[in-house]
């Protein structure tokens, strides 16, 4: 392990590790909760790619089942909360 002090870093999150919630999020063990807006929805036969814009302006992508996307009513402009367990975040120096 290399320690980089004062350098830049980027968080890497796989789309399959991002959950999406609509409406109030209650108490959870998941620590990373990001308010976001759906910017695009691309349905496949089974899976749906949901492109999000975080309140910070940064992009994030979630891969959810088509059934879940339809049940949640995910369309462009939907306000959501992106949820990511801290164990699913990798940090890399840039």
Q: Residue 53 sits in which domain range?
A: 9-93
- 59 assigned to some structural domain: yes
- 4 assigned to some structural domain: no
Confidence at 93, pLDDT banded by 50, 70, 90:
confident
pLDDT at 61: 98
Token pair of 78 as six digits: 């939907």
pLDDT tens digits for 18-66?
A: 999 999 999 999 989 999 999 999 999 999 999 999 999 999 999 999 9
- 45 assigned to some structural domain: yes
pLDDT tens digits for 3-30?
A: 667 888 889 999 999 999 999 999 999 9
CATH code at position 65: 2.40.50.100
CA triplet 52, 53, 59: central angle to 5 degrees?
85
Of the candidates 23, 27, 31, the residue with the CA atom closest to the CA atom of residue 71: 23
**Residue, of 83 and 6, whose pLDDT is higher:** 83
Please tell me the distance from the alpha carbon of residue 48 to that of residue 69, in angstroms, as a whole number.
7
Number of folded domains that form the chain: 1
């Amino acid at each position: 392990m290399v320690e980089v002090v004062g350098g830049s870093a980027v968080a890497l999150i796989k789309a399959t590790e991002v959950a999406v919630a609509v409406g109030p999020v209650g108490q959870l063990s998941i620590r990373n909760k990001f308010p976001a807006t759906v910017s695009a929805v691309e349905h496949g036969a089974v899976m749906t790619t949901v492109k999000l814009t975080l309140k910070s302006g940064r992009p994030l992508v979630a891969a959810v089942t088509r059934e879940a996307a339809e049940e949640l009513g995910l369309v462009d402009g939907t306000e959501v909360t992106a949820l990511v367990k801290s164990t699913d975040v990798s940090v890399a120096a840039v």
